[in-house]
Amino acid sequence: MLLLLFLAAPSRAAEPLRLEEGCRIAADASVQLPAALPRLDRCEGRAPKDHIGTIWVDYPRMPTDLTVAKTWRLVLDNHVSSAVDVWLIGSKGPAQHYRYDPNAPDREWAAGNYLSMLVSPERPISRIVVRLADARSHTYVRAPKIARARYFVPIERDQASLYGIGVGMLALTILFHLSLFVAMRRRFQLYYCAHVGLLLIYGLSYSGIIHILWPSLTAAQNSALLGFSMTAATATGIGFVIEFLGNSTPVWLRRWAAGGAFASIAAAVVGVIVPESWSYALYMGANVIALHAILLTAGIVLRACAVRVPMASAIALAWAAPMTVSLMYPARTFGLIGDGALLDGLMMFAATIECLILSLPVASRIRNLRIEHERAHERHVMLERQAQTDALTGLANRRGFGEALARAAAGHGEPMPIALLVIDIDHFKRVNDQHGHATGDAILRHVAAHVARVAGAGAIVARHGGEEFVVALRNHDLMRAGTIAERIRVSMGVTFDTEPALPSVTVSIGVAAGFSDEVETILADADCALYRAKNEGRNKVMLADGPLMYAAAA
C-alpha cells in the first residue's frame, strides 16, 4: 500500500529533462572529437544495432538553456562500456570535457540504474556529445536525463524511497514464504521463493541499491545481473505455475513448459559467459526465448482459468501487470514500440504488485494444505487408535498393549518393576453356547469394564484375545499385584447383581512380576500361573512359580 501511495503522490521536485538523440555513429577508438563532429553533423556511418566498439552519440538540441556557472546532473543509461566521455559544446569557445569511469568502485550512480555525473557549463551550451568506449549499441536504449543538481536531490530521494519499498517488500515476501516452506515443504513454495529471489536481484541491480552491498560491482557486471535475473525469472515463473496448478495441466503442456523453462535458464547462463562478439545474437535470442516463456505462461494460466482451476484467476490477476510489461521489452527490441514506451521503474512496480497479489493465493493454498494436513493427521491418529483398540470392549488390543508398555518403559528411562495379570473367564465357551453370542459379548464388555475399574487409572488393561484379558501394573511387586488380582476376582460376582439379564461368571487369574525389560518372560510366567489356576478348579488367583494364593470357597 505504501508503494501505491508513493506512486500516486505527485513528485515535489521538477522532472528531469530528457535529451533527444540526433545521431549515433560507430568509429575507431582513435577518433577524436574534431574528427567525429563532421560525421555526426552528416550522420555518416550510423552505428547498427549489432555494433560493438566505440560509439558516438549526438544530442544536438538542448531542452532548456543550461544556466551557466550552475551545477547540473547528467544521468546516462547504464550499459556495457569501459569509459564514457561527455563534451558540452557551445557556439563559442572550446568544448568542455568530462570523463566518467563506469567501472570505478567510487563512481556515482542514480536510482533507476543510471550512470550519474555532475557538469558545470562555463558558457551557453547548444549540444552534448557522448562517446562510449567498448560499448554494445543494442544496450543503449534510454535517453539521458539532465536537471539542476539541487533539484535532482528530491528526485533521487523519491525514487530511492520507491525502489527501497519495492525491494523491501520482495525481501519480506521471500522470508515469509521460506518460513512457510519449513512448515509445509511444498515444491511450488521453492519455485515461488526462487522467482521472487530473482526479482529481488533485479530490483537491487536496477535501483542501484546493490552498489551499497557490492561497491566494486562494475557497470558490465550490473548489466549481466539484470539480464540474468529477468531471463531466469521467466523459468521460475513457469515452474511455479505448473507446480501450483498441479495435475490440472495436461502432461504434454507440462513437458512443453519444462522445455521452455530449460531454454530460459540456458539463455540466462549463456548470457553471462558468452564472448562479446556474440552478444547481439544472444540478446535477440534471449528476447525470443523470453517472449515464448511469457506467452506460454500466460496460456497455461488462461487455460486454468477456462477450466475453473481454484485460484487460477488470482494468478492471472497477479501476473497481468508483469506479463504486460515483460512483453514490452521484446516488443521494444523488435521495434514494435519506441524506447520511451518503457517508463523508468515500470518493471519494478509490476514485480512488486505481482508479489503483493500473488502472495494471497499462495498463502490461501498453504492454509488449505495445512488444514488438509491436520485432518490427515487426525485421521491417522484415529486409525492408529482403532488399530490399537478392541472394538468390542474399548480396551487396548494385543498391539495396543505392547505399544503402551513400550511407551511406559521408554518414559521411565531404566527398567522398572512391573507385574502382569492374565485373566480368563471361566467356562466362557459354555456360556456362549447356552446364552448366545450377543450375551457373550455383553459379558465381555461387563468384565472388561470391571477389570479396568478395579485395576485403577495407572494400569494398562487390554483384551488379549477371546475371553482373556491382561493387566500391567507399573511399580508393583508380586504380592501387591496378587492382592489387586484377588480384589478383581472376589468382586466380579457382585457386579452381576446389577445386571440380572446376564448370567454371573467367575474368573481365573495368573500373576507374575519382574522388570520392564523382560515383559515377554513375565507374560509367559503369568500365563503358566493362569493355567495352574484353571487346572486346580478355576475361580482362583495363582502366583507365578508359587503356591495358590487365594481360592474361592468350595
Closest alpha carbon to 423 in 267, 279, 529: 529
Q: Are the C-beta atoms of residues 226 and 79 closer than 8 Å to each other?
A: no
- 149-203 pLDDT, tens digit per residue, is 888 888 888 888 888 888 888 888 888 888 777 777 778 888 888 998 999 998 8
Q: Which of the following CATH numbers is that of domain 398-551: 3.40.190.10, 3.30.70.270, 3.55.40.20, 3.30.465.10?
A: 3.30.70.270
The domain ranges of the chain are 13-151, 156-376, 398-551
For the question of whether the overall pTM of this predicted structure is more than 0.75, the answer is no
Model pLDDT for residues 510-523, shown as the tens digit of each residue: 999 999 888 889 99
Q: Which fold has domain 13-151?
A: Immunoglobulin-like (2.60.40)
- pLDDT of 38 > 90? The answer is yes
Is 323:298 a contact under the CB 8 Å cutoff?
Answer: yes
Helix (H) or strand (E) holding 285: helix 279-306
Is 90 exceeded by the pLDDT of residue 24?
Answer: yes
Which residues does the annotation mark as catalytic?
A: 467
Q: What is the pLDDT of residue 215?
A: 82
Residues paired with residue 127 on neighbouring β-strands, in sequence order: 89
pLDDT, tens digit (0-9, with 9 covering 90-100), for 416-472 = 899 999 999 999 988 888 888 888 999 999 999 999 999 988 899 999 888 999 999
Bridge partners of residue 419, in order along the sequence: 473, 513
Measured distance CA(161)–CA(163) in Å, rounded: 6
pLDDT (0 to 100) of residue 2 = 42
For residues 366-393, give the mean pLDDT.
80
Residue 76 contacts residue 115 (beta carbons within 8 Å) = yes
- Residue 10 scores a pLDDT above 60: no
Given a cut of 50, whether residue 537 has pLDDT beyond it is yes
Fold of the domain spanning 156-376: Rhopdopsin 7-helix transmembrane proteins (1.20.1070)
In the chain, % helix, strand, coil (3-state, to 5) comes to 55, 20, 25
Nearest to 115 by CA among 200, 31, 223: 223
Half-sphere exposure of 165 (CA within 13 A, CB side): 17
Burial 149-176 (b: 16+ CB within 10 A, else e): eeebeebbebbbebbbbbbbbbeebbee
